Structure 1
């Protein structure tokens, strides 16, 4: 598991005992879709969290809210939409001015925590891997979500398309021309 610099001193027992994804897969597969359970009449015990809870957990910038966030994470049975992961990456990198590598380490840490179910986990994992190759996390997540397509079109030929080509990503990322 990748380590997260923000988590190294965290008081949460979860951050010290995180299990690999395979150890939480059975639990995760039973509770990945709160809406389906809700519509079927069975009320899920899984709680979804917003970006600000995760930001407080990692940044520790507000003592009271950080303690609450640690308790929430330690309690487990949490669902994190991939849009929250995307927003968390932006908050940590742009607002908290952290380097991309540090942010990717924290995202990898987050999805490895026991009791955490992340929407489209495989796409998030792929986006983290692509991010290690210098591809913007949002672009990498778009690419991972487009895995069943024949190509991904963008006008970002200088950055995204070149990096994707260099790393031979599938589907290929292409710049459309007239």
Structure 2
């Protein structure tokens, strides 16, 4: 496996630096031979955060991008099932990726609940509870 850093994913998705994008495209083409490419959950969280806060892309664009990573035969995403469930929660609510992922990952680790002050997240995410 070849680990992929956030900046590699950003070039792949945003195509905003021709020189670096060419290098990333070359790497992606080689993944069937040298890979697969591996995206850990921290990298994925940073990737989504950057896209949501800095790129001006919509939630739908970002969800499509993450779904595309999951669908790639040459990319392995850590906690893939949790990421898929996170996207489902996002599609059915207004919660952000990080909130859903954190609560769902905590559930996977055996937590009875994840406490929060975020009322929207507490209503929409299984296992997220409002701390009152």
Please report the TM-score for the alignment, with normalisation by the length of structure 1.
Answer: 0.66
* Cα deviation code 1:7-59 (max 9, x no counterpart): xxxxxxxxxxxxxxxxxxxxxxxxxxxxxxxxxxxxxxx11010000100111
Unaligned ranges ≥5, structure 1? 1-45
* Cα deviation code 1:139-162 (max 9, x no counterpart): 1110220223221211112x2112
Residue 116 (str. 1) matches residue 71 (str. 2): no
Separation in 2, partners of 1:176, 1:61: 41
Separation in 1, partners of 2:96, 2:23: 31
Unaligned ranges ≥5, structure 2? none
Please report the TM-score for the alignment, with normalisation by the length of structure 2.
Answer: 0.88
Structure of greater Rg: 1
The alpha carbon displacement at 1:131 in A equals 1.5
The alignment partner of 2:44 has SS state of helix
**Which residue pairs with 2:42 in the alignment?**
83
What is the CA RMSD across the aligned residues, in angstroms?
1.2
Higher relative contact order, chain-length normalized (CA < 8 Å, sep 6+): 1
Separation in 1, partners of 2:82, 2:104: 5
Q: Which has the higher helix share?
A: 2
**Which residue pairs with 1:55 in the alignment?**
10
* Cα deviation code 1:84-134 (max 9, x no counterpart): 111111111211110011100010001211111111111111111111122
Separation in 1, partners of 2:21, 2:7: 10
Structure 1 segments, 4+ long, off by >3 Å, are none
**Which residue pairs with 1:137 in the alignment?**
97
**Which residue pairs with 1:162 in the alignment?**
123
